[in-house]
Amino acid sequence: MCSGSNMKGSEVEDVNLIKNPERNTGYNGSHIWQAMYNENCFEVGKAIPRGRFGQGDSMCYEERVLYRLLSGWHAATTISVVKNFYSPGTKSAAKGGGWGPNPQRFMTEIGNQPERAKNLHFSFVVLLRAVKKAAPFLQAYPYSTGDGIEDNVTKSLVTRLLDSQLLSICSPLFEAFDETRLFQSSEAKSLRTASAEQRSQLKRQFKSVFKNITVLVDCVQCQRCRLHAKLFSLGLGTALKILLSPPELITSTTSRDEIVALLNVLWKLSEAMEDARLLTNLYFEQHQAEKDRHQAEKDRLPVPPPPQAPQVHLENAPPSPLSLAPLLPAGTTLEDDAPLAAALAAVRRAAASGSLQKLAARRGLPADALEEKLLRFLVVQPSSEEVLLLARHYALERPELFAVVALEAAEAAEGLPQVILAPKAASSGGVASASRKAKVVSTLGEVGREADAVIIGGGLAGMAAAMSLLDRGATVVMIEKQPYLGGNSGKASSGINAALETSVESLVADTTRSAGALARPELIKKLAEDSAAAVGWLRDRTGVDLSMRSQLGGHSAQRTLRPSNAFVGAELTYAAGQVLTKMAAERPWQFRLLLKSKLTGIESAGSSGSWLAKVQGANSSELVIAGRACVIASGGFGHDSKEVESMLLKHRPDLADFPTTLGPQTTGDGLKIARDIGAKLVDMDRVQVHPTGFVDVSKPGEHTKTLAAELLRGVGGLLLDNQGKRFTDELGTRQAVVDAELNSATQGGALAAPMPPRTFSIVLNGKAAAKADRHVTLYSKKGLLRKVEGLEGLAAHMGVERAQLNETFEAYNAAAKVGLDEFGRKVFPAEHWPIEASETFYVGRVVPVIHYTMGGIAINIEGQVLAADAEGLLPNLYAIGEASGGVHGTNRLAGNSLLECTVFGRHVGLTLPIQKTTEEREAEALQRRGLPPPASAVAAAGTASAVPAAAVAVPAAAAGLRTISKQELAKHKSVKDAVWVSLYGQVYDLTEYVEEHPGGAQSILDVAGQDGTEHFEAVHNKELLENMGFDAIGKLGV
């Protein structure tokens, strides 16, 4: 139960985990984590609730357990990495040359994510329950390593762990999880009435899902990372097996390796919880020291002691992490408000003593945010008489206690209207005083405080628009139907197009050819001309490596970019999601993120041109979100076949029985609502059917399929019918390949039942598979590709004649030599042919699938929505991504979906009118304090075409570097003489890092004393240098 193929074999050696600790290797495993989370989805008949990616909050108990275990595992891994983040020889390495921590990253990934910390503790409880249940077995187990002393130490340590008195201390924690509820859920009525067979099926699927998750560990390319991941997956699997097995079976079913993994994972979880505490303290120590330094430089005044009287003059107030100056006019005093002054002094003293930091840590918030919440509650909102009375009696003597209770009052009052103080007219003495009577302003996006933009949808298009808007200083509310960001963009795996080293004209030509008779030249031109700048911005803004380049079907050049070690959609959406999630947590007044919130309507707010979005919130609450502009980025309608009003069945009833790769959220909500308010819809009958969606042979009838990426055919994958014959140019446009499949199916060429109608085989020889190693490995682990040896093995697996397969491949080899085959194919990937009878093959089943809807809301090149009944526009309404229509015409070119999201999302973000830019807001804040505006604002005011400083500035780190000649560099090529390597034109001293390199010292020594950029690029990316804290010691000369 729950164990993968992790058992030790004859070729496996023991590894000392103490000498090989988990730490930062520079490897980005986000795509593996995303794949694991995606695996956690059950569907067992209609009697079982839909899984974690179903509508609303429908995760069943079993899925919640697996999700929390995965999240706890993820948190423990993250903590280990950030604890040992900066390698020896970098600027942030530990004193004495050891590995240094990254407290800021810890706070971003864990400290500000309380649910992740909770799931870490949950996983620890699960392990404790397993150890307690297996205590008799573990106590009696013969621990034998061949070293008698070591064995006695091990036995004594296990005895201490299993001591009943120690475990009894933790007994209250055990109630956080009860394994007996698995497969017996009383939460869902459907499960209470489910049959024993359905419950048994659920149990089998639980086991299958966990096994699929564990085998994904083999996709981890970093050896050290994979070692610890395998240990963790085996430990969790062992704990679940113990908890779900009868006690009498534990002895006979638990192996030595499983005991090792169980105890080590328990230790790793325990250590992670302790490290979390230490990293939290370190973060606050560093943060406070930096704030003190910054404030001292800013004020140029000694910090006075806390006031002895309940009176605060803001102009002379001691420095605080958050100044009150933006909240009150300069020169304002609070002499007439003694309780309020005492309350403010208490907050400041609580911050100085560290009490606020502790409160913030418990709530998973930055201390600054918590302090600001208290100050706004006391000053911006009219404080209750009870709080002011509390301040009168407790603020001076017990500031920490006052802060705790005031915070509870602030949290209880959240959601009530806020107020902004307005100054009274100047008194006869000429001193302005603050009025407690103020105008009411709502939470961002609510009526009275409308956002600059309301974005509907959190896929790549919506996220590109949001990041561009927020970077300009706009206020934004994003509404996302799913419980996470990314949408269908996260599934994209082939790449994103860009005219970087290829011409814009060729991208226009290829896109126009794919678009056919419905091509709209102005939209295609916009897409192609902006592609290089937009993709470059996305790469730089997210930090995602896009160094790999390939030529996909329908393309005349290699212009499709993807990461060298990850899946493009998952990487881009994860990175962009991190940016926006952090923004929502740190700057809620500028960005509000509403997840699990469904758009139910849009209506005009009147003559102002603003829009009101009606939203059903996460808890079925009804919200109205106001914005000066509305951006519809809600995706298409490819999963709309079961909706009450199905756009798919209305416009393409012939596709009713076609499976899809799209998520269940893709039901055309935004399109229907836009149509109802007068938007024009175009090309609604143009639905892209992708030629290759994998058929899982264990679940051939499943409606949602995994996309077989275009890349598989791009590297040499061939499509074969039930006789083993080719029938199309595999690199033709998607529509051409689909047409060939449908034609072959009508002639009896498709595979027989139980495969779905229109199913064919996709075959990659070993040389082609090596060029798509990451994809092939993942698909193989998921059971979607099968590895066979030689032509005989392939013929046997496919059930066709070997002679026919040999004839097919010989004909292909001959065509590749001359550059043309009988289907008009002219491109044959280098190094994949000739296909040889003796090599390894990978074979899978594929079927045409609904993949994209070209039709949608009509737009112009600015992304503005066209009106249905006139030539004009719907003011301040935009549509981007798959929600828009007309960009792709008859059929979308591969790689253009992510490009469209990026180009039009960024363009709307850059051009949509906003009320105030970041620079304008900063200048106003300085003006309120009686200070002059920054020089940049003055310069910007003097010339509208001023070039941003960032565009021309020389990086500070590079400006003062000395020039190192190639001759000097060549002298430093050994540990004895120091190991210097040139990367991207700068020289780095890697002497202390050589022995720590996860790939081994030799790979660094091979390029020591010379330019190693090409070797580095083959495995890593430029951002890794900065992320790991490496500082250049010079720039390379001649």
The per-residue pLDDT for range 449-495, each reduced to its tens digit, is: 899 999 999 999 999 999 999 999 999 999 998 888 888 888 887 78
pLDDT band of residue 294 (cuts 50, 70, 90) is: low
pLDDT over threshold 70, residue 955: no
Give the mean pLDDT of 810-814.
Answer: 95
Least confident of 244-248, 334-338, 760-764: 334-338
Position 417 scores a pLDDT of: 34
1029 or 424, which is more confident?
A: 1029
| Tokens linked to 436 | 């407690």
Segment 1004-1008 shows an average pLDDT of 88
Burial of 952 (0-12, 13-18, 19+ CB in 10 A): exposed
At residue 185 the predicted structure's pLDDT band, cuts being 50, 70 and 90, is very low
Q: With beta carbons less than 8 A apart as the criterion, state whether 342 and 392 touch.
A: yes
pLDDT of 303 reads 41
Which structural domains are found in the chain, ordered by start?
A: 32-279 (no CATH), 307-425+432-441 (no CATH), 453-684+854-911 (3.50.50.60), 692-851 (3.90.700.10), 918-945 (no CATH), 957-1036 (3.10.120.10)
Is the confidence at residue 935, as pLDDT, over 80? no
Task: Band the pLDDT of 39: cuts 50, 70, 90.
Answer: low
**Position 952 confidence tier, pLDDT thresholds 50, 70, 90:** very low
Which amino acid, one-letter code, is at 353? S
Q: Which residues contact 776 (CB under 8 A, 6 or more apart)?
A: 712, 764, 769, 785, 842
How long a stretch of residues is the chain?
A: 1038
Q: Which of 138-147, 320-329, 392-401, 596-605 has the highest mean pLDDT?
A: 596-605
Nearest CA-CA partner of 318 in 290, 336, 298: 298
Neighbouring-strand partners of residue 435: none
Specify the pLDDT at position 954: 34
* pLDDT, greater one: 951 or 528: 528
Q: What are 570-618's pLDDT values in tens digits?
A: 889 888 998 998 888 888 889 999 988 999 999 998 777 899 999 998 7
Compute CA distances 257 → 130, 213, 260, 264, whole Å.
16, 19, 5, 11
Which of the two residues, 569 and 630, has the higher pLDDT score?
Answer: 630
Which of 120-124, 393-397, 682-686, 761-765 shows the lowest per-residue confidence on average (mean pLDDT)? 393-397
Task: For residues 675 and 869, give the distance between their C-alpha atoms in angstroms, rounded to a whole number.
Answer: 11
State the catalytic residues.
690, 713
pLDDT band at 636 (very low <50, low <70, confident <90, very high): very high
Q: Which range, 182-196, 218-232, 412-426, 828-842, is most confident?
A: 828-842
Q: What is the pLDDT of residue 818?
A: 92
Residue 385 pLDDT exceeds 80: no
Q: What's residue 449's pLDDT?
A: 85
Residue 466 has which token pair? 């949001």
Residue whose tokens read 């940016």:
579
Q: Is the pLDDT of residue 953 over 80?
A: no
- 338-353 and 367-375 helices, crossing angle to 10°: 170
Q: What is the DSSP letter of 733?
A: -
Task: Give per-residue burial for 565-600: e unless 16+ CB within 10 Å, then b.
Answer: bbbbbbbbbbbbbbbbbebbbeeeebbbbbbbbbbe
- Using pLDDT thresholds of 50, 70 and 90, give the confidence band for residue 290: low
Average pLDDT of span 622-637: 93
- pLDDT, one tens digit per residue, over 517-529 is 999 999 999 999 9
pLDDT at 969: 93
Mean pLDDT for the chain? Answer: 78
| pLDDT score, position 694 | 94
243-287 confidence digits (pLDDT tens)? 888 888 888 889 988 999 999 999 999 889 989 888 888 888 777
Query: Looking at the predicted structure, is the pLDDT value of residue 171 above 60?
Result: no
975: confidence class by pLDDT, cuts 50, 70, 90: confident
Counting residues of the chain whose pLDDT is more than 70, the rounded percentage is: 75
pLDDT tens for each residue of 699-756:
898 888 888 988 899 889 999 999 999 999 998 888 899 999 999 999 999 999 999 9
Out of 218-222, 415-419, 636-640, 771-775, which region has the weakest mean confidence (pLDDT)?
415-419
Residue 679 CA from chain centroid, whole number = 32
| Distance between CA atoms of residues 99 and 224, nearest Å | 16
Average pLDDT over residues 684-701: 91
In the prediction, which pLDDT does 666 show? 87
pLDDT of residue 431: 31
Q: What is the pLDDT of residue 532?
A: 92
Model confidence at 320: pLDDT above 70: no
pLDDT at 931: 53
If one counts every other C-beta atom within 10 angstroms of the C-beta of residue 8, the result is 12
**In terms of pLDDT, which residue wins out, 192 or 84?**
84
Q: Which residue has the higher pLDDT, 312 or 16?
A: 16
What percent of the chain stands above pLDDT 90?
35
Is 753 buried (19+), middle (13-18) or exposed (0-12) by CB count in 10 A?
exposed
Report residue 406's pLDDT band, with 50, 70 and 90 as the boundaries: confident
What confidence category does residue 339 fall into, taking pLDDT thresholds of 50, 70 and 90? low
Q: Which two tokens stand for residue 490?
A: 């996260």
Q: How far, in Å, CA of 753 to CA of 100, rounded?
A: 59
Instruction: Kindly indicate the confidence band of residue 549, based on its pLDDT and cuts at 50, 70 and 90.
Output: confident
d(CA 459, CA 490): 8
Number of other residues whose CB lies within 10 A of the CB of residue 358:
16
Distance from C-alpha of 835 to C-alpha of 830, rounded to nearest angstrom: 12
